[in-house]
Structure 1
């Protein structure tokens, strides 16, 4: 090959092939049958003929591979791919142009914008209430101060005055999320939100989103920004039944819209993101923190846009809204029930995809047209209200004792087999106390959390630090302020009244609510596992840290949540989510209510064992005065737990029969705004327990007993699949408990064992008996005065010697 030929070959990207039969310069000619010599084998060389055959085989395989690649390249050339992409784009553009031409701006508002009343009924179909004429009054934008107008722009859409009415990126993301079933993720402009609120619906479909996009583009071209902003602030839902800025200004600050200040306007603008969650009157600590953060966000955006001076902004303080006023017809328990039903319906609308967000769900419910039947049983509802009155509120006199005015009660009663909320007590009167005490989550459940710890231990098959399986008869050290072992975080909780118990079983620790035992028990199980079990049972643990202090029930919880937790235990470990709504109808929205009974979240044996243990709290523990000895009991089987929180700010009794679960909570809330939490100590002046405490075994247990035994029509027994706990054998107390005796109320006690208990101690290795307890409680009347029994100096059979165990006297 000449140099010119080689140059031309390189330019073509290849190399000119040598003649087929021409040997390589480095190879000697070889015949096809040439043999391989030993020398060739030793040196790893092959005869020329063999190498030629190998090259031909490789060329043949390479040619096939190149052929396949060539076909793929011809099929997916960049020209064809570009053409296909452009075709899809052109089709999309064409479809959008067609939609744009054929979609006019509606002449009238949608049905949701034409407000109607909601109807609420008892479970038997009789009317509970109608929510009446809804609160909406449109105002001209000129009647709203310019700076207040800008708070809404700063909150929702800073580019509002310059955009074309849509956020293409946000809308595309919203349509993609809809197709993928992920729900909403924001991104709408003020124009889009107004179009959705006023002209369209809240349904999650691609068609609706495309219509929203088209109408928003047209509206932005045909109408002024002031027209759109006025429509937005007049049609938005602000909570408290208020639609539009005028109604909101009155509902939250008792002023007309033209008198709103910038800080007040910023709060109303922040409120639109989550009206119920951000309503200061009912917001949790988290809700208050979030709305203040958003309020700051709004004002800071105004400074960035030069709508507000920095010095003026720095001088602004958060404008706490005024207390809400209930509408006529919502007196007594009616307002609590109505708003709790609305909240449950809104949650269902979001979970089922009928509404994109809680904000939109609230607007849909507030728009009216709903026929809502509750699970509330009229007889049980009346009985619960009467019980609270007889056992508590009739004994309070805030004129004589100021603390009596700080006592708030809440209660929820649930059918564990169906999940139906059959009765709810939200407070003395909705028009006097807006917050629903049955659903509020800002108070600690205290020792009513202890059964959750035991449930986790039994369900997980947990062991002590010494490798002993945890059961109702496992021995622990009940010494007050005993440091827990096995935790990176130091914790040494004090028992109530700083009582030392010495060696006790888990059963006894539950009966007497011994903090030190359950702190160690929680660490033995693993606090992460304890919190997971709590979540599985129905508590909100999302933001909780897995630390030993949680064993004292220091998180927030509501009577509604705790009723669900105990209902799941009563239902043998199958999840019960309390349901207030029985059925719901609406001509524009189809709602399929979720089944309140869910899957098995803990094993039946674990749930039944906890139930068995909790019968001991009633028959031989902190609830025996109010429940065990109640003349209305008539042999009814009961399992439950008392609770008194730190500094006596809350007191609880949550308990159940086989057919009914009821959680009662008392909360210390100052009668003076801003209503901080305060101790209950001293309420009713002498009608409380020792030291003036309002304990769970006092008023809460009394309310529970009067209600439950009053509505029970027959005596029932638990169907338990377990061989441990007080329900299947008498409680066991070590014969040498080095503790002083005290009467078991909510304060810890070491009362001497009754004659129904064996006097011999039991080690963890001994198996519980299956002896059926007596149908009647022990007849021995508890002493009203604490005894002064001296602790025994005998060495117990199972001594807790720190040198024998690294569990530090567990």
Structure 2
């Protein structure tokens, strides 16, 4: 064999044969670098093509949270139990527990873990399901921008978006997004909901050991829930907790000595979701309505969530009000077997007159049993609780009787039942009966308020001017009912709510400075507090007028329609009280609205057809309820008011009044002391049918005189200066617009 043949033989021997001809090391190396370049190119294309998307709407859904004034959670509403919080609200040590648990290089990495992502993609391709290894940034991107689906394309998107997010957002923003969008078990999304669910605390009050447990939960929320976990689950949860704290020591975020002293803080047992049981449903609806009105929000905007609403409700006073309604009303009714009892609905609101805070509210039997909130409904008449507003209008406007006398608490009017109301010598077509058809003859306005004499206040309203009366009512806070200025409105025939009446009387208690009851203490969204209007406004009537009305209203308690239930109440401890009863036509509503120097409460009972009856929802009479012939303001309403107030208001409270008139200043002589029955409507009544003076008084002359009564009326009383005649009208006119039913109203 020649040299040439030998060389050819050696080349043939060195040349790979078979499959080796296609996979040489050069080709493999070239292919590898080609693939790397191809992947890099593909990644560059993906980086250029894939933008950071809008946040996942589901990751932004929050609940609205309602809290009592002391910070205790009352209720959460919404589809998702989440309340976003700023990272600044989370203690720094607690922040570090999440980094130590999930991503120790979080503060220095670029937002991705290539090895972990590659491992996750390989496991996905191989069908091994969900795998860990992602950074906090990647988990945040998955929670907030993407979905939980396990696909290669989703993993690639996660990688690209994580890089971009890390470049655009600060580490604090990313960490805040992560802890707010993660699921912790017990239906809790986000650290705030988790802190409440596991420790009954806000996130701002979490300790490092508590934070370490919540961080450990993220690996397996259901398996590590201490209340539900098996022995193995508890062992694994404890091991994970230790892992988190040990990593914190290694990262120099926790000293070894502090770590040594830390013990595992077992979470509280799971609670039923904060709901709307009992009165909470009414508190929620009232607060919700107030926030939407105050912030001008639609239902859709508010229900989108994220609001934390703290109420002014004082839990102790709330419990006391509920207890008072139960003991003074509900325990005395048999709603199941007695039709009259089933008709009675109760509503009440209690307000601090200095601040306008609604401290307690009673809305009914419960939102699931009675959807309408009785504390805020405005479809029932306030009846005689409106009378103090007529007096306030008279005093504020310095009104005079039709004979020119200045109107004060000692001004004398004719209290004869069905006495026709006169304006400038002309009958106005209104002659209201008094309660139980009683006639009183000449009485002072103080006595007329004490006895709630309709005929007197009907004439007073016309003397003042019904336009002025309605204007004053609006100033004081009445704005929901029909305030047209016709005389029958003096009987309180417009609509009003306990909330509204509590505000009106709080304004009187606050010396004429406008008080608008506020059930909401504060509102925040994602930690940002939203300013609210002040509950206390400007001076709407003079202090003298307001204080004079308060002084007069003490007489209703001391010597009037509320004396039995309020003045002589066994639990009263010296509190000075002003208030007014009210009972509407046909006994469809009954009220007591009253106040001490530091607490105003309005209690209303409403006759409503039972849900499962033919009269469901209709306004009906409460006659016979609780075994009473008639439910008036001095019965159940005053009894509820007294038990609640005397157990909630400061003892020995005294009014600071700037006035020289009324019961609180000086007792008033009533004339006559004993009422008579309503006289006949005979057009020519005999002298005996007329209202006669008491034996110690002389009969008034038939001619009105302009004599002004002194502060202490003498025993010889002038004829009421506002009375057109001492005789009866030829044809007494029935009250218009529900002005009476023959029995009159209080």
TM normalised by structure 1 equals 0.54
For 1:795 and 1:537, the matched residues in 2 are separated by 37
Does 2:275 match 1:329?
yes
Q: Report the counterpart of residue 591 of structure 2 in structure 1.
A: 652
CA contact (8 A) 2:698 2:717 kept: no
Q: Secondary structure of the residue that 1:720 maps to in structure 2? A: coil
**Cα shift at 1:401:** 1.3
Q: Alpha-carbon deviation of 1:764?
A: 6.7
Offset from partner CA, 1:20-73 (integer Å, 9 cap, x none): xxxxxxxxxxxxxxxxxxxxxxxxxxxxxxxxxxxxxxxxxxxxxxxxxxxxxx
Q: Does the CA contact (< 8 Å) of 2:78 and 2:303 recur in 1?
A: no
Partner Cα distance (2:589, 2:380) in 1: 7
The alpha-carbon distance between structure 1 residues 589 and 348, as it changes in their structure 2 partners (threshold 3 A), is: farther
Question: Is the 8 Å Cα contact of residues 449 and 551 (structure 1) preserved in structure 2?
Answer: yes
Task: Provide the aligned length of Structure 1 versus Structure 2.
Answer: 465
Q: CA separation of 1:618/1:738 partners in 2, compared to 1, >3 Å: closer, same or farther?
A: closer
Q: What is the CA distance between 1:404 and its match in structure 2?
A: 0.8
**2:293 maps to what in 1?**
347
1:732 to 634, 654, 669: 669
Q: Offset at 1:797?
A: 3.1
Conserved? CA contact 2:593–2:601, under 8 Å: yes
The secondary structure found in structure 2 opposite 1:634 is: coil
8 A Cα contact 1:736 1:795, kept in partner: no
What's the CA shift for 1:334? Answer: 0.6
Deviation, 1:701, is 0.2
Q: CA RMSD in A?
A: 3.2
Is the CA contact (8 Å cut-off) linking 1:493 and 1:519 kept in structure 2? Answer: yes
Taking structure 1 as reference, are residues 393 and 541 closer, same or farther at Cα in structure 2, changes over 3 Å only?
A: closer
Q: Tell me, which stretches of 5 or more residues in structure 2 are unaligned?
A: 1-50, 82-272, 679-690, 701-705, 730-746
Which segment drifts farther, 535-544 or 454-463?
A: 535-544
Task: Give 3-state SS (helix, strand or coil) of 2:626's partner.
Answer: coil
- Of the two structures, which has the highest relative contact order with CA contacts closer than 8 Å and spacing of 6 or more? 2
Deviation at 1:799, TM superposition (A): 2.9
How far off is 1:737 after superposition? Answer: 6.9
Task: Identify the residue that residue 428 of structure 1 maps to in structure 2.
Answer: 365
Change (3 A) 1:803 1:696: closer
Please say if 1:405 is aligned against 2:405: no
For residues 316-340 of structure 1, the C-alpha deviation after alignment (integer angstroms, 9 at most, x for no partner) is xxxxxxxxxxx98211001100111
Determine the structure 1 residue equivalent to 2:468: 529
- The Cα of 1:734 is off from its aligned counterpart by 2.4
What's the offset of the Cα at 1:693? 0.4
| Equivalent pair of 1:408/1:669 in contact (CA under 8 Å) | yes
Q: Which residue of 1 aligns with 2:261?
A: none
Once the two structures are TM-superposed, the CA of residue 363 in structure 1 deviates from its matched residue by 1.9
Q: Structure 1 residue 768 and structure 2 residue 707: aligned?
A: no
1:471 paired to 2:408? yes
CA distance in 2, matches of 1:494, 1:371: 51
1:682 aligns with 2:619: no
* Mapped partners of 1:423, 1:488: distance in 2: 45
Residues 292 and 302, structure 2, Cα contact 8 Å, conserved in 1: yes
Runs of 4+ in 1 over 6 A off after TM superposition: 109-113, 758-764, 801-809
Q: 1:592 to 1:634 in 2, by over 3 A?
A: same
SS in 2 for 1:711: coil
| 1:365 shift after superposition | 1.5
In the alignment, the residues of structure 1 paired with residue 722 and residue 312 of structure 2 have an alpha-carbon distance, to the nearest angstrom, of 55
C-alpha contact (below 8 Å) 1:448/1:652 kept by paired residues:
yes
Out of 574, 577, 580, the residue aligned to residue 641 of structure 1 is 580
Encode CA deviations 1:619-674: one digit per residue, 9 max, x unaligned. Answer: 00000000011111122100000000010000000000000000000001111364
Paired with 2:278 and 2:548, the residues of 1 have a C-alpha distance of: 39
* Structure 1 residues without counterparts, runs of 5 or longer: 1-104, 136-326, 742-749, 771-793
Residues of 2 paired with 1:804 and 1:509: CA distance? 19
1:70-127 Cα shifts (integer Å, max 9, x gaps):
xxxxxxxxxxxxxxxxxxxxxxxxxxxxxxxxxxx99657969953111111111111
Contact conserved, 1:410 with 1:665, CA < 8 A, in 2?
yes
Secondary structure of the equivalent of 2:385?
Answer: helix
Trace 1:300-699 onto structure 2 (pairs within 5 A).
329-350=275-296, 355=297, 360=298, 362-486=299-423, 489-540=428-479, 543-587=482-526, 591-672=530-611, 674-685=616-627, 688=628, 692-699=629-636
- How far 1:712 sits from its partner (Å)? 2.5
Deviations 1:144-193 (A, max 9, x none): xxxxxxxxxxxxxxxxxxxxxxxxxxxxxxxxxxxxxxxxxxxxxxxxxx
1:290-314: CA deviation from partner (whole Å, max 9, x where unpaired) = xxxxxxxxxxxxxxxxxxxxxxxxx
Cα distance in 2 for residues equivalent to 1:768 and 1:561: 34
Partners in 1 of 2:555 and 2:70 — Cα distance?
A: 37
Q: 2:65 aligns with which of 119, 144, 147?
A: 119
Instruction: Tell me if the contact between 1:401 and 1:684 (Cα under 8 Å) persists in the aligned partners.
Output: no
Cα distance in structure 1, aligned partners of 2:390 and 2:333: 35
Q: How much does 1:367 deviate?
A: 1.0
What are the Cα deviations for residues 361-419 of structure 1, in whole angstroms up to 9, with x where unaligned? x2221111111111000100000000000000011112331111111000000000010
The structure-2 alpha-carbon separation of the partners of 1:714 and 1:107, relative to structure 1 and needing over 3 Å to count, comes to same
1:131 aligns to 2:68 (yes or no): no
Q: Tell me how far apart the structure 2 counterparts of residues 567 and 641 of structure 1 sit (CA, whole Å).
A: 13
Encode CA deviations 1:653-707: one digit per residue, 9 max, x unaligned.
000000000000000111136411111100012xx2xxx0000000000000000
Counterparts of 1:472 and 1:668, CA distance in 2: 33
Q: Deviations for 1:737-770, whole angstroms, at most 9, x for unmatched residues?
A: 77369xxxxxxxx9x99xxxx9999997344379
Return closer, same or farther for 1:714/1:805 CA change in 2, 3 Å cut-off: same
Q: Is the 8 A contact 2:440 2:675 kept in 1?
A: yes
Is contact 2:502-2:602 (8 Å) kept? Answer: yes
What do residues 558-577 of structure 1 show as CA deviations (whole Å, max 9, x unaligned)?
00000000000000000000
Cα 1:651/1:459, change in 2 over 3 Å: same
Contact map agreement 1:609 1:724 (CA 8 A) in 2: yes
Q: 1:488 to 1:363 in 2, by over 3 A?
A: farther
Change (3 A) 1:392 1:759: farther
Measured at CA, do residues 803 and 407 of structure 1 come closer, stay the same or move farther in structure 2, by a change above 3 Å?
A: closer
SS in 1 for 2:518: coil
Cα distance between partner residues in 2 of 1:571 and 1:409: 26
Q: Is 2:718 the partner of 1:798?
A: yes
Report the Cα offset of residue 615 of structure 1. Answer: 0.3
Structure 1 position 731, deviation (Å): 2.0
Q: Distance in 1 between matches of 2:292 and 2:721?
A: 57
Equivalent residues of 2:358, 2:519 under 8 A apart: yes
Query: Is the 2:414–2:723 Cα contact (8 Å) retained in structure 1?
Result: no
Change (3 A) 1:796 1:129: same
- The answer on whether the counterparts of 1:507 and 1:726 sit within 8 Å (CA) in structure 2 is yes
1:134–1:537 CA distance, 2 compared to 1 (3 A): farther
Distance change (3 Å), C-alpha of 1:387 and 1:723: same
- Closer, same or farther: CA 411–110 of 1 in aligned 2, 3 Å: farther
Q: 1:667/1:541 Cα in 2 relative to 1: closer, same or farther (>3 Å)?
A: closer
SS class of match (2:624): coil
Query: 1:695-722, CA deviations, whole angstroms, 9 ceiling, x for partnerless residues?
Result: 0000000000000001224211000000
